[in-house]
């Protein structure tokens, strides 16, 4: 795990996590609190999926004096202003966004409103309150149907294939603008298909695992040849912590990939999940979906060079940890 000593030295200032009740955000909050940090969480508890999941994610910290939760939408600039005015914030980890590639096609304007306007609201509050350190959660989806063998940060990203991807690309540019104009140091981290404990229920691994356990068929879009670079949540958290340290010590503006580094096909993902669950999947094959990219493949060289990042968790081990957390492991007495 990365030593975030640079932030411990300024422990009176809190780390603000937007989207801090979600999968990545709540996991990060737990990690930072365990490291002795003060954490402020902003989350609107959107009903995009069962709100009780988010409530459970934050329940362990609700009485911790080092933790404060605000139920707030990042579109609400007035409420954000009140939070930023009343709290001493040293760094912002901006994870909040409308998630999901396919839903963004049906609700494109809402995605633009939340992701782009919401990010501009966060940046403007940082400017107004003199907060200079930002980690922004971008996405591998910005690469679209890139033809490169590995996706490196210097590739052109002008052809997003979903509104979600377009909003993430736009937000990277907003971050650069506020960095250039107002000196906000920012690292934009492009996450590659994060999975593990607390993964959202709408994401493939979680959804497939629960359907398989219930003896129900899973829907496989396309012929199973689509490739994803799955990244375990623990590795993502290590990368965020390293980015925080880099941002504090060196600053500037950087775009950095965080991925697992070992892309696999959808078919092989299903086979690995079968092995982890001790079950056979019943597959219902459906046509490819609009907005889905054919493959993602992370070039991690920049992350390794700047952050000392290297994914440490194999896909099989990550699945075992997910299955254990989800309570889906095969019974030894069965």
Listed in order, strand segments (DSSP E) in the chain are: 14-18, 39-43, 67-71, 89-94, 133-139, 185-191, 194-195, 218-221, 227-228, 231-232, 253-258, 264-265, 283-286
Spatial separation of the C-alpha atoms in residues 168 and 306, rounded to whole Å: 22
Spatial separation of the C-alpha atoms in residues 165 and 151, rounded to whole Å: 15
Active site residue 164: yes
137 and 97 Cβ atoms separated by less than 8 Å: yes
Spatial separation of the C-alpha atoms in residues 296 and 226, rounded to whole Å: 9
Spatial separation of the C-alpha atoms in residues 74 and 54, rounded to whole Å: 17
Pick from 302, 254, 310: nearest CA to 136: 254
Phi, psi of 134 (to 5 degrees): -135, 135
Spatial separation of the C-alpha atoms in residues 98 and 171, rounded to whole Å: 13
Length of the chain measured in residues = 334
Long-range contacts of 175-178 (CB under 8 A, 24+ apart): 175/119, 175/123, 175/134, 175/136, 175/253, 176/253, 178/123, 178/124, 178/126, 178/127
Out of 67, 70, 143, 164, the active site residue is: 164
Spatial separation of the C-alpha atoms in residues 52 and 58, rounded to whole Å: 10
Give catalytic residues, as residue numbers: 164
């Amino acid at each position: 795990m990365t030593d975030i000593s640079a932030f411990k030295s300024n422990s009176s200032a809190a780390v603000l996590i937007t989207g801090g009740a979600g999968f990545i955000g709540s996991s990060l909050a737990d990690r930072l609190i365990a490291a002795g940090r003060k954490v402020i969480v902003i989350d609107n508890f959107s009903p995009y999926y069962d709100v009780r999941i988010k409530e459970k994610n934050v329940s362990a910290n609700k009485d911790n004096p080092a933790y404060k939760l605000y139920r707030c939408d990042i579109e609400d600039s007035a409420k954000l202003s009140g939070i930023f005015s009343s709290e001493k914030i040293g760094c912002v980890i901006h994870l909040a966004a409308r998630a999901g590639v396919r839903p963004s096609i049906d609700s494109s304007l809402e995605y633009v409103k939340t992701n782009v306007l919401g990010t501009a609201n966060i940046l403007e509050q940082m400017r107004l309150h003199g907060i200079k350190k930002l980690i922004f959660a971008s996405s591998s989806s910005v690469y679209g149907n890139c033809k490169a063998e590995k996706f490196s940060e210097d590739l052109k990203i002008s052809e997003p294939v979903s509104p979600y991807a377009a909003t993430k690309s736009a937000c990277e540019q907003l971050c650069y603008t506020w960095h250039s104009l107002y000196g906000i140091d920012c690292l934009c981290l492009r996450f590659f298909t994060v999975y593990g404990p607390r993964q959202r229920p709408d994401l493939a691994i979680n959804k497939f695992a629960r359907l398989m356990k219930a003896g129900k068929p899973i829907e496989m879009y396309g012929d199973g040849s689509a490739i994803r670079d799955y990244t375990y949540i623990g590795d993502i958290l290590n990368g965020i912590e390293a980015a925080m340290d880099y941002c504090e010590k060196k600053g500037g503006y950087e775009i950095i990939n965080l991925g697992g580094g070992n892309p696999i096909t959808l078919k092989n993902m299903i086979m690995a999940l079968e092995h982890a669950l001790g079950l056979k999947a019943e597959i219902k094959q459906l046509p490819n979906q609009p907005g889905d990219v054919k493959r993602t493949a992370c070039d991690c060289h920049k992350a390794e060079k700047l952050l000392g990042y290297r994914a440490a968790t194999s896909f099989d081990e990550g699945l075992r940890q997910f299955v254990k957390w989800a309570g889906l492991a095969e019974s030894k007495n069965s």
